[in-house]
Amino acid sequence: MSPPLCPHLTLHCFLGSSRCRLVLLGARHRPMSTFIAAESRLVLDDSVVARPFEPAAVSSKPSIVNAKDFLLQSPRGVYTTARSVNSYAIMDLSAHLARLATSLQGMQLPFESADAAPAEATPPVSKTLGLMRNPEHNSTWIAPVIRQSMAHYYRLVRDSGESNLGEAKITALITYSPAGKIEIRSHCEKLPQLSLSSCRVAVYGMPRKTASVKDSQWVLDRAHLESSKAPGVHEVLLIDSQNNIYEGLSSNFAVLKKDSSGTIVLQTAPLTTVLPGTVLKMITGVCASLGIPVVYEFPNVRDRHEWLSAFISSTSRGALCVSSIDFPDER
């Protein structure tokens, strides 16, 4: 185990003669006493998208499963996880819509494979699929499904007697159903609020093969890494044979260090090798406004003595400081 990397969540740095303060901290609320969640769904094919959108086509219902089980119980597809802001808006919705489009562009659906039967080669979803793979058009169909799941969720929260609506975690999924239709599904539950001010992480596990595609299969593939975490370990960081750290199972990873000139920089993996999250995007934007350079190079285990601070970031965590890192193979 390495020594603590960050004693607190506030970074003080000096930029020329001016002092700046970067706070990496997520909001906290009182937890709900009971589990509440909602799901919504829209079934699409070319005949549906050829007509003006009809809100009544979106169905919703209370959900008895959490976001993870929602993905595991749905047909395989591409997904994104977002969070609400002030209970009703979604943080960086356009980025999530773009992620769904990009992920769908990189995923081959069953009927698109070379082994597909002739009868399956041209299903009635070709136009629909093209719209879903275009971030300029997919919002017409995805956004209403997300809104419906949020509206249903907050209605359930109010009906339960909760006075604090809190923030929501939204998981949007685009999948190809066994019925041969494109389905947009959305799940909404309370955004987890961590009581941690810092966390312990462990380094093991190979990087994902296709990082740019947020495939729901990854939820199943990473299960063995999650189950093998030692007690007290909050996240697993993926690493290659050269000791380069890529990302966490469900987070991005970044460090603060001084470059060769003594300038404090933020270092995180090249964006083409990981799935960059919306929170990381916000952090790099803050760094740009503060004049802190961002270096898109792999943090390497061998250089950990140079790190001033390290943190993981995700929708549910915000930016969470790393207090210690476990290296099971004594790297």
74 with 86, same domain? yes
One-letter amino acid for residue 164 of the chain: N
Q: Decide if 316 is inside a domain.
A: yes
Q: Decide if 239 is inside a domain.
A: yes
128 with 75, same domain? yes
Q: Which residue, of 140, 164, 190, is where some domain finishes?
A: 190
73 with 172, same domain? yes
Which pLDDT score, from 0 to 100, does residue 66 have? 96
Those residues whose C-beta lies under 8 Å from the C-beta of residue 18, and which sit 6 or more positions away, are none
pTM reported for the whole predicted model: 0.84
Cβ contact 124:45 at 8 Å = yes
Q: Decide if 3 is inside a domain.
A: no
Q: Give the C-alpha separation, 88 to 150, whole Å.
A: 8
178 with 261, same domain? no
Phi then psi dihedrals of residue 102, to 5 deg: -65, -40
Which pLDDT score, from 0 to 100, does residue 163 have? 81
267 with 219, same domain? yes
44 with 138, same domain? yes
275 with 181, same domain? no
* CATH number (domain holding residue 237): 3.20.10.10
Residue with the two structure tokens 């890192």: 325
In order of 56, 115, 119, 125, the CA distances from 112 in angstroms are: 30, 8, 12, 11
* CATH number (domain holding residue 117): 3.30.470.10
Q: Decide if 171 is inside a domain.
A: yes
Domain count, the chain: 2
Cβ contact 257:265 at 8 Å = yes
Q: What is the DSSP letter of 66?
A: -
Q: What is the DSSP letter of 17?
A: T
Residue 199 parent element (H or E):
strand 198-203
Q: Decide if 2 is inside a domain.
A: no
Those residues whose C-beta lies under 8 Å from the C-beta of residue 17, and which sit 6 or more positions away, are none
149 with 252, same domain? no
63 with 134, same domain? yes
Task: Tell me which residue range forms the domain holding 321.
Answer: 10-28+194-326
66 with 181, same domain? yes
One-letter amino acid for residue 220 of the chain: L
Q: Which residue, of 190, 209, 242, is where some domain finishes?
A: 190
Beta strands 198-203 and 318-326 are parallel
Q: Which residue, of 155, 190, 225, is where some domain finishes?
A: 190
Phi then psi dihedrals of residue 186, to 5 deg: -135, 135
Q: Decide if 118 is inside a domain.
A: yes
Per run of 10 residues, the mean pLDDT along the chain (length 331 residues) is: 42 34 42 83 88 90 96 94 92 93 87 61 77 90 95 95 90 90 95 84 90 91 91 94 95 95 96 94 94 96 93 92 82 52
**Concatenated DSSP letters of 236-249:** EEEE-TT-BEEEES
Q: Decide if 55 is inside a domain.
A: yes
Length of the chain: 331
129 with 229, same domain? no
Q: Decide if 5 is inside a domain.
A: no
180 with 232, same domain? no
